[in-house]
Amino acid sequence: MSHSEGSPRRAFLRSCAAAAAGLFASGTLSRAEQLLAATGPEDPEVPNEEIARILKEISDGRPIRRGHVSLDMPLVAEDGRVVPVIIETDLPMTAENYVKAVHLIVDHNPDPHLAAFHLTAALGRVSISTRIKMKRTTWVRAIMQTSNGDVWAGYTRVLVTLNGCG
């Protein structure tokens, strides 16, 4: 547990520093730093290759900005088999502009793109709650696409004490 707790954060800090140094020095960026740059500096954790591919696919190449998305999960999940999730937003839900999709991504799960919720303005508001499985401590990402093409994200880190994926 202590290993999986500490290393992603250290890796993140290292790559932040490396990315900053690389950008200022115009040096060659490593693959991880390219991925970080591609998904924006607000990303909480350097996405691995698979996560980067999923993010690129769902954002349609648009920048993913942090904001407007509330991803409510427990700080500590004692049972990774049942972890509650509530996703909400203050984005409009009108016929002219609405949240057309909400993607839930769990970085270190065997199948990280856990769910996609395709919505319409008929819902009136985005407030989705469900329960998910988590293999280990990781960041969870909720990504929203609006009908006019904006992509917003919310992130939260959940400490998992009992593996829920086998």
Residues that bind other proteins (CB under 8 A): 81-83, 106, 109-111, 113-120, 122-133, 164-166
- 3 or 131, CB closer to other proteins? 131
Q: Please, which residue, 35 or 106, has the CB nearer to other proteins? A: 106
Q: CB of residue 104 vs other proteins: minimum separation in angstroms?
A: 8
Q: Closest CB to other proteins among 48 and 127?
A: 127
Which CB sits closer to other proteins, 129 or 148? 129
What whole-number distance in Å separates Cα of residue 56 and Cα of residue 52?
A: 6
Q: CB of 88: closest distance to other proteins in angstroms?
A: 9
Shortest distance in whole angstroms from residue 121 CB to other proteins? 8
60-88: b or e for each residue (b if 16 or more CB lie within 10 Å)?
eeeebeeebbebebeeebeebeebebebb
- The answer to whether residues 145 and 101 touch, using CB atoms and an 8 Å cutoff, is yes
Chain centre distance of CA 70: 12
